[in-house]
Amino acid sequence: MKRTIGVAAAEWAEALGTDIISSSVGYTDWYNPSDLDGNTAVTTRAADMAVRLGVFVCISAGNDRINSWYYIDPPADADSVVAVGAVDSKGTVASFSSAGPTSDGRIKPEVMARGLGVRAVDPTGVGEYQSVSGTSYSAPLVAGAAALLLEAHPKWDACTIAGSTNGNSGPG
């Protein structure tokens, strides 16, 4: 299996005892929509591997709905991760928030969170805060909620936090 920096980072984080990974990476350059089957992309397989090892993995769905790609970005197609789309303050899906389903018919994203007009610290130092948008802002909100659940229920595993009802923690 070809390793990427993201795969190596997930392996390293898991080895250190990480309980939650929130990632905003998405790789569409090498794939076709038919590849969104939860098993093709290297990062998709790595995300599922992290879940099998007990890590809750939260992935941004992507910001491609308004582009020709439209679909969620790998590794959000992984069957064991929680893919997160973006909504505005009223719960309306953001025009840019990538959509599913996966090529094998699974509903993605599973969760939507505020990703349009999110108030965040201004990294330029010009102002105290700025309004930002993207699924890169919605996924960390879901990861934070998962951290609170894990703190309240330390014996729960990644699939329980994700709301799995079938006990499947990944392929294989």
pLDDT tens for residues 44-63? 998 998 998 889 999 999 99
pLDDT in tens, 100-137: 899 999 999 999 999 999 999 988 878 789 999 999 99
Pairing of strands 118-121, 129-132: antiparallel
Q: Note the pLDDT of residue 42.
A: 87
Mean pLDDT of the chain: 87
The residue with tokens 């700025």 is 130
What lies within 8 Å, CB to CB, of 61 at 6+ separation is: 72, 73, 76, 83, 84, 85, 86, 97, 98, 99, 100, 108, 109, 135, 139
Q: What is the pLDDT of residue 69?
A: 84
* pTM for the structure as a whole: 0.86
